[in-house]
Amino acid sequence: MKIYLKAIVWVKYGPVDGLQLSEVVKPEPKDKEVRIKIYATTVSMGDCEIRSLKVSKLFRIPLRIYFGIRKPKKIILGQELAGEIESIGTKVTKFKVGDQVIAQLGFNFGGYAEYTCLSENASIVLKPETMSFNEAATLPTWAPTALHFLQNTALKKGQKILINGAGGCIGIFAVQLAKNYGAEVTAVDRSDKLRALQSLGADHVIDYTREDFTKNGKKYDVIFDVVGKSSYSKSLKSLEKQGYYLLGNPTMMQKLRGTWTSIISSKKVISSQPAEFTKYLLQLNGLIKEGKLRTYVDKTYPLEQIPQAHRYVESGEKIGHVVIEI
């Protein structure tokens, strides 16, 4: 007999009414899969951009081919989760029933539901014991992304890093990780987010609505543009000679310019995204256990209110993460 579960299904491109509460068949794990009862997931700006297809024109056609030409093929979005393994396939060896886990889902999605099935070889690790499910759900995608970018620099104690868009999903982790390196951190975002960023360890804060960091005459060893809003040429001028410019949300043109800049100068531009998340999640678990990394949950919504959560994220008002409690 089929068992049904609640899920938010993506049925059309565009505004939030394309996300609809539905009943779908509860998935059964294959031999090498685990079934996870999801307790929490998140909504990020990336989720909103995919839903609405507000992405670079170069990516719109490939995304429509992948998701569906005229409309998405009843996809359940959600890029990360925290939950508990409820059932395992006959050949699963890495996990057992009852394990509390977090998982990075990527373009396989599936977080906006009560249950999902994943390969045991997917990006799944045990949940940090010191975190609630709501807190832990914020880790799997954005904390590894921040760590990936920073590990590609030569950031050392006493060096200066500026993080543009520091109040977002990636930025709040980047601020803390940079402090763990011993760096002097300048966080750039809106005025209403600056106090929270200082509480996370930022040494200096800049309200981008009042000040352009590229015009203050200061130089940085690393500039991490999380949101992709800073001027490429002006940011390069704000870098030290051996500096790193990290592009968390690059356009195709910025990628091309970055490659050329890295070839012809001593400055390095990095735009590659992490290809494998598990190793980063294991490192992050260690930092969390040591009390060196924490998350920042702005608002929490129930599953049924995911459209409202998308509206809030798109408003630009959120600090850190918006969590969906299931």
Dist CA 29 CA 26 (whole Å): 10
Q: What is the pLDDT of residue 196?
A: 96
Q: What is the pLDDT of residue 302?
A: 98
The H or E element containing residue 134 is helix 133-136
pTM equals 0.94
| Residues 6+ positions from 103 with CB-CB distance below 8 Å | 36, 80, 81, 83, 118, 122, 123, 124, 125, 140
For the chain, give me the number of helices (H) and strands (E)?
10, 15
- Contacts by 183-189, CB closer than 8 A, 24 or more apart: 183/155, 183/156, 183/157, 183/158, 183/159, 183/221, 183/222, 184/158, 184/159, 184/160, 185/161, 186/160, 186/161, 186/162, 186/213, 186/220, 187/162, 187/163, 188/162, 188/163, 188/164, 188/213, 189/165
DSSP three-state, residue 247: strand
pLDDT tens for the chain, 326 residues long, are: 789 999 999 999 999 999 999 999 999 999 999 999 999 999 999 899 999 998 877 778 888 999 999 999 889 999 999 999 999 999 999 999 999 999 999 888 999 999 999 999 999 999 999 999 999 999 999 999 999 999 999 899 999 999 999 999 999 999 999 999 999 999 999 999 999 999 999 999 999 999 999 999 999 999 999 988 889 999 999 999 999 999 998 888 888 998 999 999 999 999 999 988 999 999 999 999 999 999 999 999 999 999 999 999 999 999 999 999 99
Torsion angles phi and psi, residue 227, rounded to 5: -95, -10
Q: Directed axis angle between helix 171-180 and helix 142-151, to 10°?
A: 40
Would you tell me how many other CB atoms lie within 10 Å of the CB of residue 74? 13
Structure tokens at 46: 């990336």
Cα distances (angstroms) measured from residue 273 to each of 77, 81, 167, 168, 246: 20, 20, 19, 17, 11
Q: What is the pLDDT of residue 54?
A: 87
The closest alpha carbon to 254, from 274, 225, 211, belongs to 225
Q: What is the pLDDT of residue 2?
A: 84
Dist CA 282 CA 114 (whole Å): 25
Let me know: does 175 contact 146? Beta carbons within 8 Å: no
Dist CA 205 CA 175 (whole Å): 11
Dist CA 198 CA 208 (whole Å): 15
**276: Cα within 13 Å, side-chain hemisphere:** 5
Domain ranges of the chain: 4-140+277-325, 142-270
Let me know: does 201 contact 319? Beta carbons within 8 Å: no
DSSP three-state, residue 111: coil
Structure tokens at 214: 């590229």
What is the CATH architecture of 142-270?
3-Layer(aba) Sandwich (3.40)
Torsion angles phi and psi, residue 116, rounded to 5: -150, 160
Annotation: CATH topology of 4-140+277-325: Quinone Oxidoreductase; Chain A, domain 1 (3.90.180)
